[in-house]
Amino acid sequence: METLKNRPITKLKGVGPKTAETLEKIGIKNYLDLLFHLPFRYQDRTRITPIALLQPSQIAIIEGEIFKKEMTHGKRPTLIVWLKDETGVIAVRFFNFYTNMIKRFDALKTLRCYGEVRYGMNRLEMSHPEVLNFMDKDTELEERMTPIYSLTSGITQRQMQGFIDNLLQELKEEHFPAFLETPDVNLKDALYFLHKPPTDVDIERLENKKYPVQETLALEEIVAHQVALKKSREHFSLEKSSPIHLDPDAISQFKENLPFTLTGAQSRVISEIENDIQSQSPMMRLVQGDVGSGKTVVAAGALIHAAKAGFQAVFMAPTELLAEQHAINLQKWFEPLGITSLLLTGKLTEKQKREAQTKIKSGEVSIIIGTHAVFQESVEYQSLNLVIIDEQHRFGVEQRLTLQKKAPKGFTPHQLMMTATPIPRTLAMTLYADLSSSIIDEYPPNRIPITTTVVSEKARDKVIERINAQCKEGTQVYWVCTLIEESEVLPAKAAEITYADLCERLPHLRIGLVHGRQKSAEKEAIMALFKAHELDVLVATTVIEVGVDVPNASIMIIENAERLGLSQLHQLRGRVGRGSKASFCLLIYSPPLSNMTRERLEIMQATNNGFEIAEKDFELRGAGDIFGTRQTGEFRFKMADLFHHQHLIEAATEIANKIIDDKALSQKLIDRWIGDSGEFVWS
């Protein structure tokens, strides 16, 4: 039978082989995938809004007679076009225009344009809108709301809208069944409604996913995810792995060598792991523990058992900086136990890589610490039986699964995921339905809580004075520069500027700089200097966000803190408060602050508890944003928003349990909502 799933996207009008290849990058291979590629935003291009009715931050089409044009010269030449309609007057600004644009304006008596309304010089204006009535393109008003889709480079918004139009046209006569019992919702109508909303729709309500059809689809999607994860869990419990026989002597020796005693929570989680790894079916465990709760020693415990039992184990971290630091710490712990380890990151020279690979293949080395370089195709393991992923929320599912395939044929390694991004309970129920969970809910003793203060940029001079005084008393300081946009160049630049400024203003202090664009050796050298207290101040980008551990550093300064998510701020702040000194975190913002941002920064001031922060962040922003732009495959929902749809989770779990044995239905749901990434879960 022909289904939407087995109709390849190349059959669609307008999609050639090259476009198909591009679409595949965002997971669209067939008709079903495209049909469920739902808009994430909408534009209203169906009507003209009278000038007097415009509201700040409204996005609208306006139309009026041009009664004046002005040019301002200067750094940024601007053309201001004044419009009037029957209700009022507004200025429309154009930047970076070219001369031929002025000519085009000369030919216009009226202007129709689409853009965002903002406060300019104490009145509303529109800046750099899209012009809809230049001679060569006179755009009609739309009959439906305009859907906005996520794209990939090589496909424009217009093209994507066109493909969807063609698809809906072609499918007009077809029937799509709803798989779950949803008597009131016709799936086909629902999808047409979402792709092509009528003019009377409330865009805000739609974007917030509050229409009943959206709820129905969200329920179906959450069910699909739970079914997929439960299947994956079932699948793994049938897999075989080699039991790891424990070595209590090695562990006692390890504990004796530590300069501290494990907390109760650390000991408990280690024994949970010990229970799992002695089994013939693979461990699939998630360890959640706030920043600074001491996850690394817990991982070390598992690694020691694996190595002592004669297996290889991998410890993977998301950044080179972190992998390097882990290697230094772990090697110190492993050496007295006679356990061999090596560091494998992308930055090794070809020769070093080859040497590492030879040692891994021959089994000469037991513990491999590294970045995602550890699962590159050229790396072959002799006896891999344990995989630990640190800061697992930074990796995608696929990466985890590639590593599993590195185990000897027919065997699946034991797996331990560690995360410091605390996840609200409801969210965890859905996202980690396939994992057992351990929580480190205790901090190492004698920690003095970090005092957090939110200050305006205007107080920068005072801040600099204060760090000067503190450094003279032997304190070390992190100064984190955040990015202006999601790009690699800008934060490095911002950090360089701050670095130069601080060097000039604090000539007696030793100041270092790290950012993502430096060579690995350079980063390592600077971190080593900071760790050895050869530097007083470390200016950095967010590369130091995860894992970096320098207990003597007790002041964290974060510039433009308003640009970061709460969980990220919490992670950064967790770089201090690791020693026995009182620690401080200063969040510097550039005014003005919106109420929501103020509220968010105040949460940081009010609590040091990562779980509390996560719950609040979740409340304020919804689930999607918690994971920011680094969303991994597991978290990308098409319709469901786990915050708005929290109330559906329990019902979804019930349905998932009921239908899990119906293979055909489960598969259909997975095809529809998860597509090929679903196959990954248990292939």
To which H or E segment does residue 111 belong? strand 110-119
Question: Is residue 610 part of the contact set for Mg ion (CB under 5 A)?
Answer: no
- Residue 194: strand, helix, or coil: helix
Question: Is residue 294 part of the contact set for ligand ADP (CB under 6 A)?
Answer: yes
Stretch that binds ligand ADP, among 19-27, 260-268, 335-343, 352-360 (CB under 6 A): 260-268
Residues 180-219, mask of contacts with ligand ADP (x by CB under 6 A): ----------------------------------------
Q: Choose among 304, 360, 305: nearest CA to 334.
A: 304
β pairing state of 124-127 and 89-95: parallel
Q: Is the peptide bond before 77 cis (omega within 30 degrees of 0)?
A: no
CB 138 within 8 A of CB 132: yes
Distance of CA 476 to the CA centre of its chain: 30
Our CB check for ligand ADP shows the closer of 216 and 475 to be: 475
Stretch that binds ligand ADP, among 228-236, 261-269, 421-429, 514-522 (CB under 6 A): 261-269
Stretch that binds ligand ADP, among 123-131, 312-320, 467-475, 544-552 (CB under 6 A): 544-552
Q: How far apart are CA 131 and CA 112, in angstroms?
A: 6
Which residue in 335, 551, 662, 679 binds ligand ADP (CB under 6 A)? Answer: 551
Q: How far apart are CA 467 and CA 537, in angstroms?
A: 9
Our CB check for ligand ADP shows the closer of 572 and 623 to be: 572
Q: Choose among 452, 400, 664, 672: nearest CA to 576.
A: 452
Q: Which amino acid is residue 304, in one-letter code?
A: I
Interactions with ligand ADP, residue window 402-441 (CB under 6 A): 420
User: What, of ligand ADP, Mg ion, none, does residue 491 touch, CB below 5 to 8 Å by kind?
Assistant: none
Stretch that binds Mg ion, among 148-156, 291-299, 473-481, 558-566 (CB under 5 A): 291-299
Q: Token pair of 209, please?
A: 């996913």
- Residue 62: strand, helix, or coil: strand
Tell me how far, at minimum, the Cβ of 529 lies from ligand ADP, in Å: 18
Tell me how far, at minimum, the Cβ of 546 lies from ligand ADP, in Å: 8
Which residue's CB comes closest to ligand ADP? Answer: 294
Tell me how far, at minimum, the Cβ of 329 lies from Mg ion, in Å: 10
Tell me how far, at minimum, the Cβ of 326 lies from ligand ADP, in Å: 9
Which residue in 38, 262, 525, 593 binds ligand ADP (CB under 6 A)? Answer: 262
Tell me how far, at minimum, the Cβ of 151 lies from ligand ADP, in Å: 36
Which residue in 40, 67, 119, 260 binds ligand ADP (CB under 6 A)? Answer: 260
Q: How far apart are CA 544 and CA 535, in angstroms?
A: 16
Question: Is residue 292 part of the contact set for Mg ion (CB under 5 A)?
Answer: no
CB 236 within 8 A of CB 441: no
Our CB check for Mg ion shows the closer of 329 and 383 to be: 329
Q: Token pair of 582, please?
A: 């009182």
Q: Is 418 left (phi over 0), alpha (psi -120 to 50) or beta?
A: beta
User: What, of Mg ion, ligand ADP, none, does residue 419 touch, CB below 5 to 8 Å by kind?
Assistant: none
Stretch that binds Mg ion, among 68-76, 242-250, 294-302, 370-378 (CB under 5 A): 294-302
Interactions with ligand ADP, residue window 487-516 (CB under 6 A): none
What residues form DSSP beta bridges with 344? 370
What residues form DSSP beta bridges with 285? 416, 436
User: What, of Mg ion, ligand ADP, none, does residue 289 touch, CB below 5 to 8 Å by kind?
Assistant: ligand ADP
CB 91 within 8 A of CB 82: yes
Q: Which residue has the tokens 């019902």?
A: 651
Question: Is residue 289 part of the contact set for ligand ADP (CB under 6 A)?
Answer: yes
Question: Is residue 291 part of the contact set for ligand ADP (CB under 6 A)?
Answer: yes
DSSP class of 563: G
Tell me how far, at minimum, the Cβ of 574 lies from ligand ADP, in Å: 6
Question: Where does 447-544 have alpha helices with state H?
Answer: 460-472, 489-505, 520-531
Our CB check for ligand ADP shows the closer of 296 and 498 to be: 296
CB 43 within 8 A of CB 116: no
Q: Token pair of 93, please?
A: 């600004």
Q: How far apart are CA 304 and CA 313, in angstroms?
A: 9
Interactions with ligand ADP, residue window 589-628 (CB under 6 A): none
Question: Is residue 547 part of the contact set for Mg ion (CB under 5 A)?
Answer: yes
What residues form DSSP beta bridges with 94? 79
Question: Is residue 288 part of the contact set for ligand ADP (CB under 6 A)?
Answer: no
Where along the sequence are the contacts to ligand ADP (CB under 6 A)?
A: 260-263, 266, 289, 291-297, 420, 444, 547, 549, 551, 578
Where along the sequence are the contacts to Mg ion (CB under 5 A)?
A: 295, 547
